[in-house]
Structure 1
Amino acid sequence: MPNPLLERSPLPYELPDFPLIGPADYLQAATLGAREQLTELALLATDASPATFETTFVALERSGQLLRRTLMAYSNVLPSHGTAELLDIDARMQALSNAHHDAIHLDGDLYARLLQVDASALRGEDARLVEQTLRDFRQAGAELQPAAKEALRSLNASITELSSTYSRRLLAGLNDAAVHFDSAADLAGLDAAALENAAAAALAAGYEGGYLITMILPTAQPVLEQLELSATRRRIFEASLNRGTAGEHKTIDIGARMAELRADRAALLGYATHADYALAAQTAPSLAAVRERLAALVPAALANARTEADILSAATGSPIRPWDWAFRSAAVARDRYAVDRAALRPWFELDKVITDGVFAAATGLYGITFTERPDLPVMHPDVRTWEVANVDGSALGLFTGDYFARPTKAGGAWMNSIRDGASLLGELPVVTNNLNIPAPAPGAPALLSLDELTTVFHEFGHALHGLFSAATYPSLAGTNVPRDFVEYPSQVNEMWATWPELAHRYAVHHETGEALPEGILEKLDAASLWGEGFATTEYLGAAVLDLAWHSLTTGQRVEDPLSFERDALLEAGLDPELVPPRYRTGYFKHVFDGGYAAGYYSYIWSEVLDADTVEWFKENGGLSRSAGEVFRNELLARGNTRDPLESYRAFRGRDARIEPLLERRGLKG
């Protein structure tokens, strides 16, 4: 069959025809696409006519469309449905992409041609494109001497190879860490639906019977909140915590080596550490500013966590252990606030949450509507696709949701773009959400925990950021914003999960049709600060660990990664025995295979904007079209077409205040 990637897809919105695309097609199209783009850029670089904005920067944006659509399709299918055949080609695909990036950004003639453009009269998005493109070239090493460029190519290739290996081992380790139980008695506390799901997971994994508790990416596993036996909780917790530290799926040494090589690369590019290098492209003013904020938050967060630990210990008369924390914390919430979080799952059925919750909020705020398109091809049968229209009926884009865990899917939750909303290319956005909700047994509904409910809304916030893109140039479109800004719109969208007028629409008991019991939302709000000490400390542990790894200096080598990890947490004033970090080095996909290296602080940095924005919505009509239009037009649609903090000020009328975040997290004063 002809390679479907070699031509623009004839499907609506140029959706790739995933079932027709094989691993060899991705390799062939990427190879040809890279060659094609280098030919285009060679002509651009050697053009003897006067350099203009159109013949350089705009031409660069237009170039390489075969490679671009191939890599966007591949980067969506690999983490979502990484079959053995796709995993086999991943090292070659990553190596090709990395080498191609270097071939462009280390091309002295191309960079010189860009510098010839007089951009002094440019304004708006055009000026932003010049600024960001030149910065990207400098960050990539365009101004290095030839010998240094060769050294940089070698470092980039080594880091890319290690990242691919880390990714493969991480997925294998995630599947291998699943814990099998022979008896349902070991899983006392799980409801019938959860037990049925665990039994189905065991059969799917090749067991003759019993029950399999599968893992999600973070340290904390949602099931620990419900399981009544401490011994069962301990088995699951330790299986999660020890991932990547030993055996055939060991990743901690790979992560350490990547951090060392990133330090060497940063020095080559003129930076003291990789963290300094990464922060140069973010909204945070400096690495020192980030460290100062984390250092200010750690003592208060840990003090709150220790207070919570004392309360949990007093409730049972025995010291709290990490594997018991979620279960005991849920019990205290029930006693203090009359809230049984686990018992609320029957009211949060996935389909209802999507249509009458997530989509209804978007319609209420922005007037957009959703029509499911089961006729369009998908990469896996679990994937669902919706066509999204503006309030006037005009096409906005496509949204696909892939919500269930499976052995071929990376852990965690994320959003990707298959097409950017970029008018230069005549594209409308195609965006995806991926979650890892345990797949229900055949015919059974998918019921969500409160955390999973929040994640569904969170990831759709990213999707809206992509769908509303009104950029001209693809490199500035949608979520192509600084890493410490990209989480902000998604965090804002979480607020609608428990917005009363919306929750009363979607929170309906899946069997009886009964509405969410009166007063539950108020009780959840009253209990919102309970557990924030643990949650904030757990997050800060991961952020501190990320910065510790990426604050290595060139030549610094880590002989014992486990000791390095522990020392970094203790030196920051944290207590990993009491509250382990949300991610440890062995399964920290964000920073070793996800683009967040030295950027995991972004969540708390963005949350300052988020908490301040929630206050704005409350002051300006809440779930209303007028408020939604302001947020869409001044912020979501802007992408990186101007400084994102400028967009924030245009939306909010001022810089963000930190007080709403401190109050939300229980850190005020």
Structure 2
Amino acid sequence: MTATRIDPALVDWTGLNGLPHFDRVRDEAFAQAFDAALAAHEAEIEAIVQSVTTPTFDNTVTALETAGDTLSRVSALFWSRAGADTNDTIQALEREIAPKMSRHYSRIGTNPALFARIDALWQNRAVLKLDLEQTRVLERHWKGFVRAGAKLAKPEQERLAEINETLAGLGARFGQNVLADEKAWSLLLDAGDDLDGLPDFLKDAMAAAAAERGADGRYAVTLSRSIIEPFLTFSARRDLREQAFRAWVARGANGGQTDNREIVRQTLALRAEKAKLLGYANFAAFKLDDTMAKTPEAVNGLLMQVWEKAVARARAEEAELAALVAEEGGNHAVMPWDWRYYAERLRAKKFSFSEAELKPYLQLENIIAACFDVAGRLFGIRAVEKTGVPVYHPDVRVFEIRDADDRLVAMFLGDYFARSSKRSGAWMSAYQSQHRLPLPNGAKGEIPIVYNVCNFARPAQGQPALLSLDDARTLFHEFGHALHGMLSDVTYPSVSGTGVARDFVELPSQLYEHWLTVPEILTRYAVHYRTGEAMPQALLDKVLAARTFNAGFATVEFTASALVDMAFHTNGPVGDPMAVQAEVLERIGLPQSIVMRHATPHFQHVFAGDGYSAGYYSYMWSEVLDADAFSAFTETGDAFDADTARRLKAHIYSVGGSVDPEEAYKAFRGKLPSPEAMLAKKGLVVFEELSGSDG
């Protein structure tokens, strides 16, 4: 029945090296495919439950690991489309499928006979002679069942399932509302005064965005970061900056059908109820129970330690910007729509270079090549681009990832340009994860098929895509996630690649960013798109010297968001989330010149699903790790030291979740780090302050 009800294009991945036949995937095939795939997974679960044999690791845990392969394939294709190339059909189905999937997994997580088998194995784990990875996999399954409500009474299980189903629907709506607001708004400008201060690369991108909206000959400011941020950085028109900025921060709070504020209120109430049902004081305690941080107190302790230094640095930066405003004849306070503009002017004054001067040296093609080169030097792999391969959108590029012996390690897809059918931001995901288990379809193990999605501004026809330094860091960041998936070397799918604690998952990505500004990488790949000449040493020196410029601003806008996230999830239900946001920001003393990086109504990390709910801090937690981890290379005097790279691959990039993250880090570095190296990297403390530290 399953075979006849599922379009083969969704499950028979017989394209190049096991890729899906993207060109054969039809939107209208998903609904029926999900119904059949869910039924097939239920049958596989029932077969495990009905087994009359004594529970063993193989007949229970391994069986669970390989069950649902059909559902995984359908889901991977669907959620890829929903994020990167959506449409009305996909969005309508998303609103239906998200709660349906939640309901499905709630039934599995509270299946008493299935949990009895898992629990029997867990209680007897000491005599099962499991290896370390198997022990971790068993622990993950047992904890997953408990956190899904397996130990609750039937009425509480039913209520928990209702909550999870409702939350899934709310999360889908939240993300769609943000995308709708981003898609609906643009500011069309004309040549002349409207473009005062804008560099050519930005005007080209705005012209392309206008043309996409049917406004040839004009220039569009959109809410894609790749356009809105440089517009706020370079536009000499303060009135236009304010207009664009207010639209940017109002996403999800414009009233009407796309307003997310009531969704946030409902979400927080349901999360608080969920945590209470499961025996936790609050939702943050529930989410942090299985992380490195462990407790809300530990998270808030780190955030406030950083906040105090960051806000002091930001106020000093604001004073410098205010002096520049006055020097240039302005008669206004520094407001949020002014900060980037005057910071760029101050950087040009202090370091004698601007973002516009730097950008012609940062071609997308070269930064992609730099990502691959660093991976080759560190991990011995290379990328081979394959053309003519069917993909889900013409922008997508396909690469084989091969090792030093020319063995195929992974498939990698890159989708780099912004478009109205794609949600904002940048992310890594996978169509399939690496593992070594035999599958029902006869395959023994699978290679990872990983993809990166970014939102860089599309260049004018015939022109190269030019990146800002932040864009280039984003590319390296997401490729660091991709490497985490592609270098995975484990047996079991549930601990493959990025299947790690939330506050550890950002370590491989944030660490990889460091290699962008290694001088030999910039010297080789930062070449002028017109002349082909390498970035002059003088400019390179200025870029490196300015690495901590504006660090107070960047850290404040991030940390404010993380503190609001934690406040939401350490309280019970709240009547007015925006009032809570305002109270937190007032209490911590957020300067009026800076706003949260992600205001609540468009905080997709936290409310478009719960992936980073009570978890936005994890970028900073991982930053403590990555600052220390890169020091392992700098201490050798070689950013590509072979022995350090070998340990990095063995203990961080390849083990996934098969090893406890603390143990994995200590195996690489010998110890756990303290925050001081991260604070120094950000320029929030000077090295003299650290000399007396016993951290």
**Same fold? TM cut 0.5:** yes
- Are 2:673 and 1:656 equivalent residues in the alignment? yes
8 Å Cα contact 1:37-1:64 kept in structure 2: yes
- Asked if structure 2 preserves the Cα contact closer than 8 Å seen for 1:350 and 1:446, the reply is yes
- Superposed displacement of residue 191, structure 1: 2.3
> Within the alignment, does 1:636 sit opposite 2:653 as a pair?
yes
Moved more, 4-13 or 311-320: 4-13
Are 1:581 and 2:596 matched, yes or no? yes
Q: Hey, what does 2:198 align to over in structure 1?
A: 190
Among candidates 128, 143, 149, match of residue 136 of structure 2: 128
Q: Contact between 2:228 and 2:244, CA under 8 Å: does it hold in 1? A: no
Q: How do residues 19-38 of structure 1 correspond to structure 2 at under 5 angstroms? A: 19-38=23-42
The 3-state SS of whatever aligns with 2:188 is strand
Deviation at 1:218, TM superposition (A): 10
Aligned length: 664
* C-alpha deviation, 1:84, in angstroms: 1.9
Question: For each residue in 1:148-173, what CA deviation from the matched residue of structure 2 results, as whole angstroms up to 9, or x when unmatched?
Answer: 01111111111111111111111111
Q: Distance in 2 between matches of 1:218 and 1:600?
A: 22
TM-aligned CA deviation for residue 5 of structure 1? 4.5
Separation of aligned partners in 2, 1:400 and 1:297:
36
Q: For 2:446, what is the secondary structure of its paired residue?
A: coil
Give how far 1:108 is off: 1.0
TM-score relative to the length of structure 2: 0.93
Question: Superposition pairs for residues 600-615 of structure 1, below 5 Å?
Answer: 600-615=616-631
- For structure 2, the residue ranges without an aligned partner over 5 or more in a row are 439-444, 690-695
1:623 to 615, 624, 640: 640
Moved more, 196-205 or 306-315: 196-205
- Are 1:269 and 2:285 matched, yes or no? no
Aligned partner of 1:539 in structure 2 is: 558
Q: Secondary structure at the match of 1:638?
A: coil
Residue 225 in 1 paired to residue 233 in 2? yes
Q: Distance in 2 between matches of 1:424 and 1:385?
A: 26
Deviations 1:370-408 (A, max 9, x none): 111113211000000100001111110111110000000
Partner Cα distance (1:251, 1:664) in 2: 36
How has the CA–CA distance of structure 1 residues 236 and 391 changed in structure 2, closer, same or farther, with 3 Å as cutoff? same
Matched, 1:567 2:550: no
Distance 1:188 1:374 in 2: 41
Give the drift of 1:272: 1.4
The equivalent of 1:382 in structure 2 is 395
Q: Equivalences for 1:40-79 in 2 at 5 Å? A: 40-79=44-83
- Verify: 1:512 aligned to 2:518, yes or no: no
Q: How far has the Cα of 1:208 moved from its partner?
A: 5.7
* Post-superposition CA distance 1:300-326 (Å, at most 9, x none): 111110000001111221521111111
* 2:272 aligned with 1:298: no
Name the structure 1 match of 2:512. Answer: 493
Preserved contact between residue 225 and residue 342 of structure 1 (Cα < 8 Å): no
Say if 2:186 and 2:222, in contact at 8 Å, map to a contact too.
yes
Letter in 2 for 1:577: Q
**Residue 243 of structure 1: CA displacement?**
1.4
The reply on whether 1:15 has 2:19 as its aligned counterpart is: yes
Q: How far is 1:190 from its partner?
A: 1.9
What CA distance in whole angstroms lies between the structure 1 residues aligned with 2:543 and 2:461?
Answer: 32
CA distance in 2, matches of 1:196, 1:527: 27
1:394 to 403, 407, 410: 407
Separation in 1, partners of 2:286, 2:589: 26
Of the three residues 81, 102, 125, the one matched with 1:119 is 125
- Structure 2 distance, partners of 1:413, 1:347, is 22
**How far apart are 1:206 and its partner, in Å?**
3.1
Give the aligned CA root-mean-square deviation in angstroms: 1.7
Distance 2:591 2:567 in 1: 15
Corresponding residue for residue 340 of structure 1: 354
- Cα distance in 1, alignment partners of residues 673 and 228 from structure 2: 31
SS of structure 2 residue aligned to 1:431: strand
The 2-side partners of 1:350 and 1:30 are apart by 37
Is the CA contact (8 Å cut-off) linking 2:207 and 2:216 kept in structure 1? no
CA distance, structure 1, for counterparts of residue 11 and residue 684 of structure 2: 54
- Is 1:108–2:97 an aligned residue pair? no
Residue 468 of structure 1, aligned match among 487, 490, 494: 487
TM-score of the aligned structures, taking structure 1 as reference length: 0.96
Distance of 1:441 and 1:230 partners within structure 2: 26
3-state DSSP class of the match of 1:610? helix
Report the CA distance between 1:533 and its aligned residue: 0.5
Distance 1:629 1:211, change over 3 A: same
Report the counterpart of residue 593 of structure 1 in structure 2.
608
**What is the percent sequence identity of the aligned residues?**
35
Preserved contact between residue 222 and residue 228 of structure 2 (Cα < 8 Å): no
Would the alpha carbon gap of residues 410 and 62 (structure 1) be closer, same or farther in structure 2, given more than 3 Å must change? Answer: same
Aligned pair partner of 1:647 in 643, 659, 664: 664
Verify: 1:366 aligned to 2:372, yes or no.
no
Supply the AA of the counterpart residue of 2:615: G
**Would you say 1:169 and 2:177 are equivalent positions?**
yes
Partner secondary structure for residue 130 of structure 2 = coil
Q: Report the Cα distance in structure 2 between the residues aligned to 1:191 and 1:219, rounded to whole angstroms.
A: 12
- 1:576 Cα deviation after fit: 5.2
* Mapped contact 1:477–1:641 kept (Cα < 8 A): yes
CA distance in 2, matches of 1:534, 1:107: 49
Amino acid at match of 2:594: V
Alignment partner of 1:48: what SS?
coil
Matched, 1:288 2:297: yes
Matched residue SS, 2:398: strand
Structure-2 residue corresponding to 1:308: 317
Any residues of structure 2 matched to 1:391-540 within 5 Å, and which?
A: 391-425=404-438, 426-540=445-559
Paired residues of 2:11 and 2:74 also in contact (CA < 8 A): no
Q: Which digits, 9 at most, give the CA deviation of each residue in 1:185-235, with x for residues without a partner?
A: 212222233213212211211336421111136997232111122112111
- For structure 1, list consecutive stretches of 5 or more residues without a partner in the other structure: none
* CA offset digits 1:87-143 (Å, max 9, x no partner): 121112212211111011011111011112232132210111111110111111111
Write out per-residue CA displacement over residues 272-310 of structure 1, whole angstroms, 9 at most, x where no aligned residue: 111111001211131111111112221211111000000
Is residue 2:341 matched to residue 1:327? yes
Structure 2: distance between partners of 1:28 and 1:519: 61
Give 1:83-94 correspondences, 5 Å limit.
83-94=87-98
> What letter matches 1:20 in structure 2?
R
- 2: CA distance, partners of 1:151 / 1:14: 41
Aligned counterparts, 1:186-265, within 5 A: 186-207=194-215, 209-216=217-224, 221-248=229-256, 249-265=258-274
Q: Distance in 2 between matches of 1:223 and 1:385?
A: 32
Tell me, what secondary structure is at the counterpart of 1:424?
strand
- For 2:68, the aligned partner's letter is G
SS of equivalent residue, structure 1 residue 452 = helix
